[in-house]
Amino acid sequence: MLPSEAALPRHQLVRIRPAAWTALLASRPELGGEPLLGGWAERGWPLIVRRALPDEPQAGLPLGLPLPPSAGKRRIAVQVRHGDIASVAPLPSLADAMASAPPDWQACLRELIAVGARHDVQPRVFGSLAWQHLTGLTYLSPSSDLDLIWPLPRRDRIGALLEELAQVEARAPMRLDGELVRADGAGVNWRELHAGIPELALKTAADVVLCSIDEFAGEPA
């Protein structure tokens, strides 16, 4: 799917036309020492939609990618024109990405997929597991978190979903991180929601603002 000129939601994966990527790297000499970047677009590896930095000029769609630990874990921030985009896709589902996870994660991942099915939401992965799955490079380490995006369920199911996530994490071999995310891409950390914090940090494509649970998820039914 190709995007319109409108801003894309956070966490969308964007693949760049190889010629445009080559031109972008040529315009950024400070990136020339990163050997993985040269063939990034040719391999079909994506970038991810991010928020613009506070002092960043609005010169295009803000995208980013993290290099793997073997390359220093450097975070690369770029902007591209919509015409340079080859395709846009959602994050990989947890079900698709779990084959790239360590063996001792597998039982927990199956449990999380079952939690999603019970609440009619499909978890998607970002962070280290997503990038390892998307590129085949080694991003995961023994201290890695599992970063998940959960589509916002019906208001009457939010509490039960959060409680199940907390129960799974209590016996998980890794820390569970991530957000519940609305259809417009705005999200709130699941731990803040579960803790009942009155003022939640709502992350949008442009900013981070404080909001209540009702402002984030709608008035209770």
At 25, list the tokens. 């790297």
Q: Point out the catalytic residue in the list 145, 156, 184, 214.
A: 145
User: Going by DSSP bridges, is the β-strand pair 85-89/124-126 parallel, antiparallel, or unpaired?
Assistant: unpaired
Cα–Cα distance, 67 to 111 (Å, whole number)? 29
Q: Could you confirm whether 214 is annotated as catalytic?
A: no
Residue 92: left if φ>0, alpha if ψ -120 to 50, beta else—which one? beta
Helix 158-170 vs helix 106-118: crossing angle, to nearest 10: 170
At 195, list the tokens. 């803790």
What is the number of residues in the chain?
A: 221
The answer to whether 169 and 198 have CB atoms below 8 angstroms apart is no
Q: Could you confirm whether 145 is annotated as catalytic?
A: yes
Residues 6 or more apart in contact with residue 188 via CB below 8 angstroms? 179, 180, 200, 201, 202, 203, 211, 216
* CA nearest to 201, candidates 70, 138, 190: 190
Backbone CA torsion sign across 184, 190, 194, 195: negative
Q: Point out the catalytic residue in the list 96, 104, 147, 207.
A: 147
Give the residue numbers marked as catalytic.
145, 147
